[in-house]
Chain A
């Protein structure tokens, strides 16, 4: 199926939970969906005979400008039918919370921990949501564009030495 057909299929199934279909020259065609129905949509993508999206290739947090909402982007691939789709959800900057899909796609487990670590996006229902790259006692989420690096970490200077 083409992305356009998958989008039509999702709209028929989920109605107004599907917000829009974005096609840009340089990006994969993306379906923007409402965050609260993400888990349902993922289950549908995985279990429907005509779609069979068995692989979540990638999950990424994203901060476009440091002011507007954060987003999470999901790249799916069906290894049986060899088609692709990209989902995108938006979540508020402060207390950003998304439902975890780690119990649907195992890939999401570490990827969601990474998004939590670097963007501070909480994933509800994640089995073990803790930092994956930075130390446990790190403060802040450094890939957010409004992040300001601390001067010291455990007595080691972070800012450049003058």
Chain B
């Protein structure tokens, strides 16, 4: 903060509102409790005591209204795809999507012959972070969440975006 540094007493910090908002937001990645296949087992494991996602402020929410992040954990069948899209639309802005595992990324083992599987959840909703693996271990999910935190922290919130009046 350049010229304003050390102008105030010790218990006052100077930052921009953007940074403050992003910092607080990235520290509470409440994810939508939403498992579709075996990846959900790893997601549960990541949330449980050994890996403890709440260290990063990430806790499961059962309603899309309360969730910030949708972790698409598993095979998205065509039947489920319409529901996934609706649940995504029910989430409040700002919202993020993590595509967890091969199936959600690209159809996974159903890539060629799965008549019933959507070949990548990014065909219906925008994805922020892709996590490879089949299924990814909890460490991989945690890294994905940390990547998303990084992405959230670099986002302009209040500043005018390019081209905006």
Contacts and interface: CB of A to CB of B under 8 A. Distances in A.
Question: Do A and B interact?
Answer: yes
Interface of B: 78-79, 81-82, 107, 111-112, 115-116, 118-120, 123-124
Contacts of A142: 115-116
B127 to A, nearest CB: 14
Closest 6 CB pairs of A and B: A149-B115, A142-B115, A153-B78, A135-B79, A161-B119, A160-B119
Interface residues of A, number: 13
Given A134-B79, A135-B79, A156 B118 contact: yes
Contact of A160 (B81, B82, B111): B111
Contacts of B79: 133-135
A153 B82 CA distance: 11
A157 B107 CA distance: 12
What is the predominant secondary structure among interface residues of chain B facing chain A? loop
Contacts of B81: 156
Contacts of A133: 79
Contact of A158 (B78, B82, B124): B78
A134 B116 contact: yes
Interface of A: 133-135, 142, 147, 149, 153-154, 156-158, 160-161
Nearest to B85: A156
Nearest to B112: A160
Contacts of A156: 78, 81, 118, 123-124
Nearest to A149: B115
Contacts of A134: 79, 116
Contacts of A149: 115
6 contacts: A135-B79, A142-B115, A156-B124, A157-B123, A161-B119, A161-B120
Contacts of A154: 78, 82
Contacts of A158: 78, 115, 119
B84 to A, nearest CB: 11
Contacts of B124: 156
B21 to A, nearest CB: 35
Contacts of B78: 135, 153-154, 156, 158
